[in-house]
Structure 1
């Protein structure tokens, strides 16, 4: 079996790959010159190419940006990077003994980890093929070329020499199955290579799953937790009661861990506990010549700053180094500072040292010559087996496709370290989980050389086991959007005589899991899909059908039928899976999520998910599992009805007709004066701008409008009022802050230039979805309000939606006197101050100049709920609800834009002509 490692290269001089196993052997290799004879290729790293060169980094924002590849035939890794070497060791390294020698077998159950400096990989007898696409730092745009190499390693046009397995420990967030890289990876799998990819490290955020792992035929791997891990450490020297090694996670920028001696007293600042601001004179004096003890939040949204800023402030204060006391146990990566060592401690250890510092002198050693603290702490945590890491990305659940596919260990993974000769290092990430599965896929292919890529993938998924929210396999089970089928079990995958996968109507070629995707429910609903079971053996098989729930919605259910199936030898049989949703449906959260992030209620969707279970009626064959997923949501079917003149001059009443959502919410409506409309882009191929994938419709604006509650707030309208901007799209976005985003340009002082930009955004690392307003010139944040004017504990259907509302407080707009010119536009997600020069679609822009107008003190249309007189923004709505439409005599607006938040896509936004 040959496993391709498309990554930063492989250090083939390392003992884990049969090399000399010395640092001198590594430093003697010139990466830009041909590899020394006998070192590469060798028996383990049997081939490969460097497609880019050491200096390559196509990121234009990086100080060392260098986008021109300089390929060569020598795919050796950089010591500065080392990612590919670590990944390759996990997939198929031989192993390095405690004496520093290459271990060449035998490979059998029960090998003692204590006997190794670096343990054997998942498939230690497989060969590796190193395809380098990263320089010594930065990103890459060479993945498609690398996949071509994997399909035809010798470049002769004959694809029969394609690699058996390819590992992609890389990717980008908010992936799309139609991305170019995802399509290329899917095509390689279709040709006959098992393609395995990391699911991403962006945490529990809806739709954030990465590409190319999102491709249907690719195996996307989430990160679970195993029992054993080797951690770096710090040493407590005093007080005696605490003396000894403490596990810690070291920072990346500091490069003197093995040469410097850093020992000092541990002290905590008085006024700046987290170190996120420059230390004042008193705290700086306390820290000088000491080791700073600083607080650290493990969840990104709770953090005031990152590790680099804290470490920089500590170093500037004269500290010898810093320890971060975390409030959790999943520590993640630290950048730190290149001047001082920084390490992070898990919650219990941090709390223990914090108490000791408050009581007396604590002396610690952070670094020591000889690297004695590197990998010095062997951790045994049986209680955490088969939990998930906090960083592993939530995937997607769309029609026909649910991701990720599998989970595998991805925390505290110890593997080969580039440039070390025979040493190892600890890494965390789905990058570490993916090569586990790449190795397992090689084992399955070796055991069953006649199986197709689809059958290998299905076998690994069908035989996976549950992952759990709580320790000791307790608490709720993670659903398919977080863990796929579950944690891989190759011992079962090689034994299964059958595989099962989604088939028939609604199935996506290459996908194993069955997904109904988002399902709007206005009344009792039943939908049916099918799973096919294929018997790969010579004997008939009988299975009973069942269902293992993960996430539940009251009253909704998956029902498999028939109760028993017979599958002939070499043949197939099908199981029907019916989704039944009752007449009333209320949104309920996935029990594994945090409904509050960063102190605010997050947006979430109700989901029904679990696994179809096929249990053999006899014998010892493994049971088969197929992920099942649906996101039913209560949907209203509201629309504008009759208009009647009101008693107030210039006013009329507009009644809503239709049906309310079958839930407690009923319906919600927001009303705006229509600013403008835009045409639907044609499907490609077509002249000019066109749409090649359904996801791109979310970048195509359909209508824009504006409203304000300033006239309704009474005294101080400019101080207490809010501007609301509505955007309707020609297609739904899985999340309003993903691949594309909606923005608004505002001219508040009438000079014809954009003064502020409002963007659909999120609190960092969360599903707290907000409208963020920044100064267009300086980027200074002016305001943050919840999208749709409600936090996530009110269901305004922000996910999988084709309309949204951007609020901004009027008081946050400096120079405002009353009249605002605005324009709405869409663009790619990007950092910095958004610029309309990059607009993909726009309404109300002349170049970058906004042209639509609303007078917030005297709007042409002032639309209020007739029930309470408040502005009709996310207002409760039912059939018969009345909107009070007040016209300004000087206004010319004659049309409304209504957003029925809980209506289905395509009917959420409605343009109404006023009579």
Structure 2
């Protein structure tokens, strides 16, 4: 069953920006612009010279920006003004168990209540909005703001407004639902900040504006179950998150659903001061198919939005091709279909109408896959790999054999979709911590639904911080982070502790955090990239005795490894309330490191008189490979059909950057899009005329980055023009 653990389904919300031409020039529209210099200066300028444009709000803390409302024709004129900075093109965000709350709160009995409920703590949810009329949320909902429509009604997008959304309501329920579903902090005060509009449309500017509004509204904790593919600590949203923490707000952010590869944690979870959350499994029974005759096991990947697989008796199977033709009677049978041509939902409806007890969809290309049902169905729907689907077709359907379902119980494993670190440039360990993120039941408009992803893990931590904040009102974001990270428990799989780059410090234990007597600040030891044969690196951990008695502390270095020598402090004592900043030094000899060891990581142990603390460490060798470019985006400039903006993120300086376009079907070279030389690290931005961008269409962009002897290539789909879409049929 290891395959299931490696392919649990992620919940994702894709966020993009609509081309300007979908709006009429006479239509009134709300926008947020980012400006050069003092936003208040340009506020007055707009009022004087563009009287038909309404200034709705000025952002001057995390973002120098102005929220405006007016006709598209007037906004188009204003957009050409020189003081308006180039907006960040759109980013693709990932937004990102019936018993997850008792599991997180370590409750052995459902009648046992946590000592705190988050009463009086303000938690902001920056997302798609909140259905504040939901019976489980309306008592705790306190208000918020909509930075998409620029009003005080952050309701989820409704059907009549465009593609409806539900993600923010689900997140809010995990934090503070109080009804048929109970959140982690059922008495917390929930505020909604709608930064993503119909279908999840938004931008970095919207997200930053929402953070600023939430900070000004006095939030104690802010949850962002969203992110992008830029694995760098200095993307604008990451910088805004750090500033919000400096202003006294704890920021909790989903790490991303692009695992299990390294370097997949995306901004803003890459922010140094944020609490980046990865996904683990709560106690779950995982179904798999078993054939005794062939001793064959087939992993099932349950589709999000469909009922859980609960078949206990043997069953026969009926082949339904791709589901386009009406099925004959499938009563008491499981239907097998191939992926393709129609949606998963249409396939499920066809099987349901034929009387099937379940549907299995097998892939039309190598490997397993993930999917979701977008409408209500009454039968379980699961995916299997192409290989397993073809085996079922040959040995079960054609031979008229029967299959059995077996179940395996798993708990506290790292979900394979959970993004892993490290972070480029500062080489930090992310995520910081794990929380349940698989098959999480919570509120959605009109009812309840199970979703999964780090989007669901993050609000578990936000809710836990609300409990801590109620218990300790004087704790700020640094104390809250230290308490929750100091008391986490490292996760083991197969008898071995999981890598720090996958789990950070481990799984959340909020009840222990409430009573924490020792705080460890900066307790993830990121020693960075070691480029010379012999180097010595030092990092510092600050230890605070929060108890009312003197505590003795002893470090225990990890087992000696070839090429590594750790130097830790001798034992010491701290008086009540005393802090001590202690150095941890490692000496590295890369010639003695065993084999190819690009990630040198492990754990140190600290003991006080009551418990031990596991401290993860990481250093990278000169041979460590990491992405040298990411986040390529190409979009029409807002309100323009003649000019494109592009941007790409480089974690380090580069000698050359070339972007070439290929036909995505034939992989034949088409043309060069642009090239740059001697590029400084960070966000690389530029513009292309319509002629420079070339013929409209969907292309495979191949980025080639060269730095000295190092050459790397990356692929990304781009769209030139506004009438093309990239569509995947399920």
In the superposition, the TM-score normalised over structure 2's length comes to 0.61
Counterparts in 2 of 1:464 and 1:318: CA distance versus 1, 3 Å: closer
One of 51, 56, 72 as aligned partner of 2:152: 72
Distance 1:555 1:726, change over 3 A: farther
- The corresponding residue for 1:710 is none
C-alpha distance 583-170 of structure 1, shift in aligned 2 (>3 A): closer
**Distance in 1, Cα, partners of 2:255 & 2:347:** 34
The equivalent position to 2:397 in structure 1, one of 341, 344, 357, is: 357
The equivalent residue for 2:168 is 84
| More RCO (CA 8 Å, sep 6+) | 2
1:385/1:632 CA distance change after superposition, 3 Å: same
- Distance in 2, matches of 1:561 and 1:393, equals 31
User: What does residue range 504-515 of structure 1 map to in structure 2 within 5 Å?
Assistant: 512-515=523-526
- In the other structure, the counterpart of 2:602 is 610
- Mapping for residues 450-469 of structure 1, pairs under 5 Å: 450-468=474-492
Matched residues in 2 for 1:92 and 1:330: separation? 35
Q: CA deviation at 1:741?
A: 11
User: In the alignment, which residue of structure 1 is the partner of 2:263?
Assistant: 207
Kept after mapping to 2: 8 A contact 1:731/1:802? no
Tell me how far 1:309 sits from its aligned partner.
Answer: 6.3
Aligned equivalents of 1:180 and 1:726: distance in 2?
A: 24
- Aligned partner of residue 137 in structure 1, secondary structure: helix
Shift of 1:583: 4.8
Give me the CA root mean square deviation: 5.2
> Quick one: which of 319, 338, 358 aligns to 1:268?
319
Partner in structure 1 of residue 216 of structure 2: 152
Per the TM alignment, residue 483 of structure 1 is displaced from its structure 2 partner at its CA by 1.1
Is 1:418 the counterpart of 2:445? The answer is: yes
- Give yes or no for contact 2:228–2:266 (8 Å, CA) kept in 1: yes
The whole-number CA distance in structure 2 between the counterparts of 1:803 and 1:74 is 51
Question: Which residue is 2:277 aligned to?
Answer: 221
Contact 2:258 2:264 in 1 (8 A): yes
Tell me if the contact between 2:277 and 2:458 (Cα under 8 Å) persists in the aligned partners: yes
Contact 1:197 1:219 in 2 (8 A): yes
Q: Deviations over 1:524-575 (max 9, x none)?
A: 22222221112233322111112458xx9x6243624124232222222233
Q: Which residue of 2 aligns with 1:369?
A: none
Distance between the aligned counterparts of 1:527 and 1:170, measured in 2?
Answer: 34
**Structure 2 partner of 1:388:** 414
Aligned length: 537
Q: Which residue of 2 aligns with 1:429?
A: 453
The 1-side partners of 2:259 and 2:144 are apart by 33
Deviation (angstroms), 1:228: 3.8
Q: Quote the offset at 1:218 in angstroms.
A: 0.9
| Aligned counterpart for 2:506 among listed residues 468, 480, 486 | 486
Question: Residue by residue, what CA displacement relative to the aligned partner does 1:364-389 show, whole Å, maximum 9, x if unpaired?
Answer: 9xxxxxxxxxxxx9x9864x212111
8 Å CA contact retained: 2:335, 2:351: no
Report the CA distance shift for 1:412/1:702 in structure 2 as closer, same or farther (over 3 A): same
- 1:293 pairs, out of 330, 333, 336, with 336
In structure 2, C-alpha distance between the alignment counterparts of 1:85 and 1:337, rounded to whole Å: 17
1:183–1:215 CA contact under 8 A, matched in 2: yes
Q: For residues 20-72 of structure 1, give each alpha carbon's deviation from its aligned partner in whole angstroms, at most 9, with x where no partner exists.
A: xxxxxxxxxxxxxxxxxxxx6x4x11x223415xxxxxxxxxxxxxxx63523
Give the match's secondary structure for 2:267: coil
Shift of 1:359: 3.3
CA distance in 2, matches of 1:380, 1:190: 47
Match of 2:360 among 315, 323, 330: 323
Q: How does 1:81-120 map to 2 (within 5 A)?
A: 81-96=165-180, 118=181, 120=182
Match in the other structure for 1:343: 381
- Secondary structure in 2 matching 1:145: helix
Where does structure 1 differ by over 6 angstroms across 4 or more consecutive aligned residues? 284-291, 307-321, 326-331, 336-342, 346-353, 361-364, 725-728, 739-742, 775-778
> Would you say the 8 A contact 2:563–2:593 is kept in 1?
no
Paired residue for 2:202? 140
Indicate how the Cα distance of structure 1 residues 318 and 169 shifts in structure 2: closer, same or farther if over 3 A, else same: closer
Deviations 1:236-261 (A, max 9, x none): xxxxxxxxxx9873466x9x99xxxx
Change (3 A) 1:805 1:182: closer
2:531 maps to: 520
- Equivalent residue for 1:534? 544
1:415 shift after superposition: 1.3
TM-aligned CA distance change 1:492 to 1:318, over 3 Å: closer
Distance 1:779 1:548, change over 3 A: same
Shift in alpha-carbon separation, 1:9–1:530, aligned structure 2, 3 A: same
Q: d(CA) in 2 for partners of 1:444 and 1:545?
A: 27
2:145 aligned with 1:14:
no
**Normalised TM-score (structure 1):** 0.50
The runs of 5 or more residues in structure 1 that have no matched partner are: 18-39, 53-67, 97-117, 154-161, 236-245, 258-263, 297-304, 365-376, 503-511, 591-605, 636-664, 666-692, 706-724, 734-738, 743-752, 758-774, 789-797, 808-825, 836-915
The structure-2 alpha-carbon separation of the partners of 1:385 and 1:149, relative to structure 1 and needing over 3 Å to count, comes to: same
Q: Secondary structure at the match of 2:174?
A: helix
- Separation in 2, partners of 1:219, 1:390: 20
SS of 1:460's partner is helix
Shift of 1:462: 1.4
Which residue pairs with 2:582 in the alignment?
575
Q: CA deviation at 1:332?
A: 4.2
Q: How many Å apart are 1:390 and its aligned residue?
A: 1.0
**Cα deviation digits, residues 709-766 of structure 1 (max 9, x gap):** xxxxxxxxxxxxxxxx999755579xxxxx7799xxxxxxxxxx99xx9xxxxxxxxx
Residue number in structure 2 paired with 1:409: 436
Check the 8 A contact 1:9/1:85 in 2, yes or no: yes
Aligned to 2:192: 130
CA deviation after TM superposition for structure 1 residue 435, in Å: 0.5
Question: Aligned runs of 1:639-658 on 2, under 5 Å?
Answer: none
Partner deviation per Cα, 1:112-157 (whole Å, 9 max, x = no partner): xxxxxx3x2112232212222223412323212221222122xxxx
Counterparts of residues 578-597 of structure 1 (less than 5 Å) = 578-585=585-592
Distance 2:368 2:507 in 1: 19
Question: In 2, distance between residues paired with 1:234 and 1:417?
Answer: 29
Specify the SS of the correspondent of 2:237: helix
How far apart are 1:219 and its partner, in Å? 0.5
Distance 1:697 1:729 in 2: 12
User: 1:249: which partner in 2?
Assistant: 302
Q: 1:14 to 1:627 in 2, by over 3 A?
A: same
Choose which of 469, 472, 476 in structure 2 pairs with 1:448: 472
